[in-house]
Chains A and B, each alone.
Chain A
Amino acid sequence: MTGKVQRVGQVIAIAGVAALLGLLIWKVAFDNEQGAADKLAKGELVHAPPFSLDRLDREGTLTLAALRGKPLVVNFWASWCGPCKDEAPVLQQTYERYRKQGLVVVGVDVKDFREDARRFMRRYGITYPVVYDGKGSTIGRWGIQGYPETFFVDRTGKLVGERIAGAVDIERNRETFERGIALALGDQS
């Protein structure tokens, strides 16, 4: 009886260690899901990860699928982020300048208070669509690493150009920003 109890104990202990080892191997080998930003940086063909989020600029929700066929500038921001304040007027000007060509700037407000975000939008005169992602559900799939970050999406829904980490249209990334807009609009020149 005692030998049996001891054997059962040993089997349970070995099974526990084996399960933990298996979990470790699985984590290292298979849990390497990359965000869209990483794939884009490697030159892979990536479709913009879908989302369906509540709007901050008006009632209702906005899905990325509803914008299919339109070139997009998707900007991840938060009201507490300093560089987001610097780039807000540039994004609004971009929206106004390219709107006739069909370009839509979409703001995704991440990990923020709704009211703070609305106050920010009023302060900077933002009129382009803005959705609210307080829980940060888009972060992993898009591969967001900081705020702000900006992506360009063409009419077929593919990510084009380069992801811009940090405020847009500053000396460091002006060319990248303009090229991203051109690629999203379908201008290959």
Chain B
Amino acid sequence: MTRALALCALVAALVAGTATAAPSPADLESELVCPVCGTTLDQSDAPIALKMKRYIRQRLAAGASEQQIKAELVDQFGPGVLAEPPKSGFDLLAWLVPLGVLVAGAVGVGLVAWGWSRRRGEEADDEPVALDPELERRVDAELQRFES
């Protein structure tokens, strides 16, 4: 019991540590897009991308949070600078619509598969089982013998 509690405490500490860890420049560079070339900052050497990378380093060194830096860059360059659309407001649709389509597709495939399996089952029930002629002859012979 004590060992289990210690394990839980360790996991909680690790999770908390991960959640509060300071973002690295590399993390942010992969989540922001160069406004001129359209690729993420870590993939771009365009002059404006280099300036943005420098800005990120300076702001991180000044203690700014990831969200603060993103908000400042969105203010300068617009929401197109974010590699992923925000998970709020109208932009939430960009996350929900593909998920909805995936769920609808899975339901559709499930329904069709269920329909097919049901039909095959019904066909199997309807079809008379044909006996082997030799077996049928032997069964008839046995029945006649039993009745006589």
Binds A, one of B10-18, B83-91, B108-116: B108-116
Binding site for B on A (CB under 8 A): 1-3, 5-6, 9, 12, 78, 80-82, 111-114, 116, 134-136
B137 within 8 A of A: no
| CB-defined contacts of A6 to chain B, threshold 8 Å | 112, 115-116
Our pick among A1, A2, A5, A135 for the contact of B80 (Cβ within 8 Å) is A135
Q: Note all chain A residues with C-beta closer than 8 A to B100.
A: none
Among A1, A12, A81, A111: residue with most chain B CB under 10 A: A111
B139 within 8 A of A: no
- The answer on a CB contact under 8 Å between B35 and A9 is no
Q: Which residues from A are CB-within-8-Å of B48? A: 78, 80, 111-112
Q: Which of A3, A9, A134 has the most CB of B within 10 A?
A: A134
Residues in B lying within 8 Å of A, measured CB to CB: 35-36, 47-48, 51, 55, 76-78, 80, 108, 111-112, 114-116, 118-119, 122
B112: chain A residues within 8 A (beta carbon): 5-6, 9
A-B contact pairs, 6 of them (CB 8 A): A2-B116, A2-B122, A3-B115, A80-B47, A82-B47, A135-B77
Judging by beta carbons under 8 Å apart, are A2 and B108 in contact?
A: no
Q: Assuming the A-B contacts A9-B111, A9-B112, A80-B47, are A2 and B78 also in contact, with contact meaning beta carbons closer than 8 angstroms in the complex?
A: no
19 A-B pairs besides A1-B115, A134-B78 with CB distance below 8 A are: A2-B118, A2-B119, A2-B122, A3-B115, A5-B111, A5-B112, A5-B115, A6-B112, A6-B116, A81-B47, A82-B47, A111-B48, A112-B48, A113-B51, A113-B76, A114-B76, A116-B51, A136-B77, A136-B78
Chain A: CB-nearest residue to B36: A111
Whether A111 and B35, one on each chain, are in contact in the complex, defined by CB atoms closer than 8 angstroms, is yes
CA distance A82 to B47 in the complex (A): 9
Given contacts A2-B118, A6-B112, contact A80 B78 (CB under 8 A): no
Q: How far is A136 from B115 in the complex, measured between Cα atoms in Å?
A: 53
Most buried by B among A9, A81, A135: A135
Q: How many angstroms from the CA of A20 to the CA of B11 in the assembled complex?
A: 48
